[in-house]
Amino acid sequence: MTGKPETANTEPLQSQNQITNVQTSEPKPPESSEPQDSELQQDSIENDDAESEILACLPELFEDAEDRKEKLQQHFEDYEKKRVDAAKRHLSNADAFNYSLFAPPPEGKTRLDLLMEYHQQFPGNPLISVDIINACIGAEDERCSDSLIDDLVSADSNNGAPHVSATIFYASKGEDDKVIEHIKHIEQASTFNERYGERVLTYAQALAGAEIGDFRLAAYEGIGAVPFLSYKPVFDWCEKGLEQAAISDACISLGAELTDRGKTLISWHMGLGLQKKIYEALDNEEIVTALEREKQSFYQRRDANANTNTAISLMMLFDERLLRRWFENIDVHGEVESHAMMQEEATYLYETQGDNALCNFIYDIFNSGG
């Protein structure tokens, strides 16, 4: 069983600024069947290039005025540095919850230290719990015991997503029975929610009142505060245990759960890649071909809507209401459907502004400053 996005989607951001000591490396893909970094990066909102796209969108404003363009670019860079520094100062003095999740760890401490300190005082928070599990993956830390991991999963036990983290944790330790146990929990879970939108909005809210603060910029920066979970341990575990039916069946099931029920495109990619890897090893060309066809079909739909996706992404950058609702909807409907909703709403809002609606919109913003 495999899942398929039904509409084109703007893609998830995964910045390089991941939470300290939370494992963020993507599985290194020695085989072509495993998702590649370039594919995941293509499936992300292009906000990293938003400023350059804005400039490119206004040729009349900067024609024969490269010096003005360079000064404006320098202004962007200076402002961004001041904003990031202000955010760090603000988070370093945040309440205990936001401090443990997002503040730069002080000298001599790690992210795991901050998370554990909060958990010991206020156990049971789903975001804190899953971050501790993720931080423990591959860590040589005596605090990361099996009993701790099982206790942390219980904070959100009816949700399949924390069990994915537990599956990867036990796969990294080679504990076959535990891996299979948590995959079964994923199958039986009544919900599957990575809490992606919730985490981003939590980060943006944590920066409310910062010296240099803006919800829209904080929300986009918050995407970098989402730990990018490495699936490499479970890919390796599946590959090593292919000759055992219990392991190969469990891996296929895990891949299908990620693809069918995951709310983020990261989950979809990883689930599809895991299934393809297993079926290739089992020489099942029919299913491998079907999975590849599903993947290519998605990319074709995405590419066909590339211009619309870029426009919607930029509109959300300048429209807090659209951006906030997008993140809220992700955890309910998933990235694909959530973005489709934004496409419809944004089209309704801006369709009367002409063929070059986005450029006119941004141009007005620049001109409003005089």
For the stretch 266-315, pLDDT in tens is 999 999 999 999 999 999 999 999 999 999 998 888 787 777 777 777 77
Specify if 3 maps to a domain: no
Alpha helix stretches (DSSP H) within the chain: 37-42, 50-56, 59-62, 66-92, 96-102, 111-121, 126-136, 146-153, 160-173, 176-188, 196-206, 215-222, 232-240, 245-261, 265-281, 285-304, 306-318, 320-350, 357-367
pLDDT value for 36: 45
AA letter at 258: L
Mean pLDDT, all residues of the chain: 81
Question: How much of the chain, in percent, has pLDDT values that exceed 90?
Answer: 53
- Structural domain boundaries, residue 182: 37-367
pLDDT value for 321: 80
The distance from CA 257 to its chain's CA centroid, rounded to whole angstroms, is 17
Residues found in the chain: 370
Specify if 22 maps to a domain: no
Q: pTM of the prediction?
A: 0.75
CA distance 349 to 315: 10
> In the predicted model, is pLDDT for residue 2 greater than 50?
no
DSSP-derived secondary structure letter, 226 = S
Specify if 1 maps to a domain: no
> In the predicted model, is pLDDT for residue 359 greater than 70?
no
Nearest to 348 by CA among 328, 369, 319: 319
More confident residue, 164 or 364: 164
Tens-place pLDDT, residues 235-260: 999 999 999 999 999 999 999 999 99
> In the predicted model, is pLDDT for residue 94 greater than 80?
yes
More confident residue, 81 or 121: 121
pLDDT value for 57: 54
CA distance 334 to 341: 11
AA letter at 143: R
Specify if 280 maps to a domain: yes
What tokens appear for 260 in the block? 């069918």
Specify if 343 maps to a domain: yes
pLDDT value for 68: 73
Evaluate whether 2 touches 272 at the Cβ level (below 8 Å).
Answer: yes
DSSP-derived secondary structure letter, 22 = S
> In the predicted model, is pLDDT for residue 15 greater than 90?
no
Evaluate whether 33 touches 273 at the Cβ level (below 8 Å).
Answer: yes
For the chain, the domain total comes to 1
**pLDDT band for position 48 (cuts 50, 70, 90):** very low
Angle between helices 265-281 and 285-304 (to 10 degrees): 150
Evaluate whether 59 touches 363 at the Cβ level (below 8 Å).
Answer: no
Question: How much of the chain, in percent, has pLDDT values that exceed 70?
Answer: 76
| CA 10 vs CA 227, 334, 351: distances in Å | 19, 11, 19
Of 145-154, 162-171, 276-285, 339-348, least confident by mean pLDDT is: 339-348
pLDDT value for 54: 52
What mean pLDDT comes out for the span 201-214?
88
CA distance 277 to 170: 20
Specify if 152 maps to a domain: yes
More confident residue, 222 or 252: 252
What mean pLDDT comes out for the span 164-193?
98
Nearest to 317 by CA among 224, 202, 216, 197: 216
Specify if 2 maps to a domain: no
Specify if 267 maps to a domain: yes
pLDDT value for 345: 73
CA distance 284 to 286: 6
